[in-house]
Chains A and B, each alone.
Chain A
């Protein structure tokens, strides 16, 4: 029993060290240029099959969307790219995206990464990089 408790205690004190210093450099883990392109292509494909999400993209220039998403994922993962698109707030303004729709898009991205064979830890790191953008995207 005591041994078990110490083990659990270790888990909790470990908490403090978990969050610090995460190298935000997982571009290679995503598969580099090729990997990111594959993820974005799969992502756009997933979106085009989701009836509730695809309607948001009716008037969208998909060539531009693809280019900006590739830049963004590359940049966020520490790759050699600059993001030249518009701010998340400006892009999603007026769309009135709900929390549910946001989560659905996260799931589509996860499916896209699964299909691209992206390792779980790299998937998680990309989600972590994008999650803080949520307040600029939903309810705008």
Chain B
């Protein structure tokens, strides 16, 4: 834990030290942060925003790290993201899920793509709208098999997101909301496989986020992500969190959250801190 903190602090400081190598054509904080599966968004949910700060005809490249520690589990996510034209985003993420008392991580790869269909979260009257997919592949499917997953190899999530910033809307502070609808078969995002004995097919799950910008670079918000409950062996709950995200410049952002992950694989009331860093090299 200590060494991890030190490495992360080092990443953060080195990124701050090269501050403003990235001029960034979009306004600060419009990159969003990086969600658990690698998409630009909040911490839990992909938004309609496109990763990085590229605008018309430009591209962006970045990397991220997220870790969440709850009572019986630890989740680490590492990955990269690229975007072009403030239109198209691709991402690759590796989730490593550690279970207390169980040797070996449970790993899942997630390849994401997102396309902005319409609008600009700040400037258009209607929300910015994007559609995306997340192709998920379990590298270690034994546990998924053991808990009764229909498929322990791979699954695909499809989603549509709408994001809108209302300028100066809450007592003079900017307000952002996002609503996402996801079609998914994944159990615990896919870490416990895809589909189950209670429900094997796709279900539609709503995910919502809201935040207020206290300054141009500091956001305070909350998120809620509904999840399927496919396995008869375990109850699966929604995820929710309260977060602070800081955008010191267009090269890096840091998110600290308190996350309530509910019941996971039979362990009730899993909650704890969530930390995430995203940096943009271009």
Residues of A bordering B, CB below 8 Å: 1, 4-5, 7-8, 11-12, 15, 18-19, 22, 26, 98-100, 103-104, 106-107, 110, 119-122, 124-125, 127-128, 131, 134
Contacts and interface: CB of A to CB of B under 8 A. Distances in A.
Contacts of B169: 18-19, 22
Closest 10 pairs between A and B when the two form their complex, measured CB to CB? A121-B172, A100-B25, A128-B167, A124-B168, A128-B168, A125-B168, A18-B169, A100-B55, A99-B55, A11-B210
B100 interface: no
B201 to A, nearest CB: 26
Given A15-B177, A18-B175, A98-B56, A124 B167 contact: yes
Contacts of A110: 216
Contact of B260 (A4, A18, A125, A134): A4
A2 B67 CA distance: 25
Given A100-B56, A124-B174, A107 B167 contact: no
B240 A8 contact: yes
Interface of B: 25-28, 55-56, 58, 86, 122-123, 166-175, 177, 208, 210, 214-216, 222-224, 237, 240, 260, 262, 269
Nearest to A26: B172
Nearest to B174: A124
A134 B175 contact: no
Given A1-B262, A8-B222, A12-B210, A131 B167 contact: yes
A22 B26 CA distance: 26
A125 B269 CA distance: 42
B142 to A, nearest CB: 31
B112 to A, nearest CB: 24
B144 to A, nearest CB: 26
A120 B167 CA distance: 12
B210 A7 contact: no
B259 to A, nearest CB: 11
Contacts of A128: 167-168
B262 to A, nearest CB: 7
B262 A122 contact: no
Contacts of A19: 166, 169
A119 B175 CA distance: 17
A99 B30 CA distance: 14
B53 to A, nearest CB: 9
A99 B168 contact: no
B260 A127 contact: no
A109 to B, nearest CB: 11
A121 B208 CA distance: 25
B171 A121 contact: yes
8 contacts: A1-B260, A5-B240, A8-B208, A8-B224, A15-B177, A103-B25, A103-B27, A125-B172
A121 B168 contact: yes
Contact of A127 (B56, B168, B171, B269): B168
B27 A107 contact: yes
B170 A18 contact: yes
A1 B270 CA distance: 11
Contacts of A99: 25, 55-56, 86
Given A124-B167, A124-B168, A125-B172, A131 B123 contact: yes
Contacts of B26: 100, 103
A4 B167 CA distance: 26
A22 B28 CA distance: 25
B27 A106 contact: yes
Given A8-B223, A124-B168, A128-B168, 18 more contacts: A1-B237, A1-B262, A5-B240, A11-B210, A15-B177, A15-B210, A18-B170, A19-B169, A98-B55, A99-B86, A100-B58, A110-B216, A120-B172, A122-B172, A127-B167, A127-B168, A131-B122, A134-B123
